[in-house]
Amino acid sequence: MEQQNVEVLCQLSKEIELAVLGMQIMQSQMAKLLQEKENVKEFHLESQKRINDLSSDVLRLNSQMIETERSYEAKLKEMNTKIQEQDASFISWNEEKEVMTERPLCSLHKSILFLKSFVV
């Protein structure tokens, strides 16, 4: 019976050693999983920060684009007004020029007619 007890004790001892070894392996795997979980958590937080930063940049750039567009629209209106003023000024100058060139021709024509009346 004592031999049997020794064999049972040896068997139990081996099983306990295997169980302890299995628990050590599981403990090591748990530590790795916890570290991976922590790494994933840090990566997620960094990603969220990058996303927030990019969102802020996009909003800032959008505001700048709207401001620039408004500025260009105002400048374009200003330039159109100046062009219209210059067109009106040119048209007025052109009409004045035509009147000035027609007057002397008219006077010259009248003078020729007047002179012809004496020549006949």
pLDDT at residue 16, as a whole number:
96
pLDDT at residue 86, as a whole number:
87
pLDDT at residue 2, as a whole number:
86
Q: Where are the domains of the chain?
A: 1-87
Q: In which band, very low, low, confident or very high, does the pLDDT at 91 lie, cut at 50, 70 and 90?
A: confident
User: Which residues contact residue 23 at a Cβ distance below 8 angstroms, ignoring those fewer than 6 apart?
Assistant: none
Q: Give the separation between CA 47 and CA 79, rounded to whole angstroms.
A: 47
Q: Give the separation between CA 32 and CA 22, rounded to whole angstroms.
A: 15
pLDDT at residue 102, as a whole number:
58
Residues 24-49: what's their mean pLDDT?
97
Helix (H) or strand (E) holding 62: helix 2-119
> What are the pLDDT digits (tens) for 61-85?
999 999 999 999 999 999 999 998 8
pLDDT at residue 35, as a whole number:
97
User: Which residues contact residue 114 at a Cβ distance below 8 angstroms, ignoring those fewer than 6 apart?
Assistant: none
Q: Give the separation between CA 73 and CA 61, rounded to whole angstroms.
A: 18
Is residue 119's pLDDT more than 80?
no
pTM of the model as a whole: 0.51
